[in-house]
Amino acid sequence: MNDATRTMRRRTYLMCRPLHFDVTYSINPWMDPGRPTSPDVGLTQWKWLHDQLVDLGHRVVLIEPEPGLPDMVFAANGAITVDGRALVARFRHDCRTGESRAYLEWFRRNGWAEVAQARHVNEGEGDFLLVGDQFLAGSGFRTEPRAHEEVATFFGRDVVGLTLIDPRFYHLDTALAVLDDDEVMYYPPAFSPESRERLAADFPDAVLVGEAEAEAFGVNAVSDGVHVLLPEHGGRLAGQLAERGYVPIGVDMSELLKAGGAVKCCANELRGGPDD
């Protein structure tokens, strides 16, 4: 397929400015509290991503960052939304639980038809990615497997469970990205053998990502069906995407990567909200 046959779909994203960004604890292998961080650099990189999404024609809405919640910039973890319904995250680690309250308040204040907090540990779009009409759902490090059934019931959608086995790729969105309604890219060694078999069966034409690109968080990307925004040090992945007819756009996420997050972590796709 070439780019002439691909179709861009304008989307709405929820983002959070990294005004309080810092690495003060370690809950994934990328975080080192002893390593200096710069909120100013993080904000500059985040703003470039924000402005690029707007320039491409997407709508970006903001949730206000709160002091003491340095990971709130990673808005993808905050909730899952489909058809105007929002299921807000229940975080595994205590240091992030305050984010759930902030997201519950935001969705209720902004007129979403149905808002609830997950009963089971569920880290939002970090572990639930919508592909066509079904969810791919990760577990192994953060989200609990029993949250998969809860999501299926809440949204009335099929959920395909996938098990992550490499702690470097602790959320599904660090190991797999949705490129279009029927196409994904992923790093196979991040998944259990059973999950790799399922992915190979369901997506035989997927873009398979190498270790160097995965370690650079190249899979933590946002696609609108044509443009794919990904960390700029994604190596040969940009070429793989271009061969498929996509337009890769590199984004400098080096500061936010110190907390184990990149492009997709910063952008939560809102589906069917009151203003869509």
Q: Where are the beta strands (DSSP E) in the chain?
A: 12-15, 59-62, 79-82, 85-88, 114-117, 128-131, 134-139, 159-163, 176-180, 183-186, 207-208, 222-223, 227-231, 247-251, 268-270
Catalytic residue at 171?
yes
171 token code pair: 């959320």
From 148, 233, 265, 266, the catalytic residue: 265
Is 20 one of the annotated active-site residues of the chain?
Answer: no
Which residues fall within 8 angstroms of residue 243, CB to CB, at 6 or more apart?
none
Q: How far is CA 142 from the centre of its chain?
A: 14
Amino acid at 114: E
Positive or negative: CA dihedral 257, 81, 58, 110 = negative
Contact present, 234 and 254 (Cβ < 8 Å)? no
Tell me which of 171, 227, 233, 266 is the catalytic residue. Answer: 171
Catalytic center residues: 171, 265
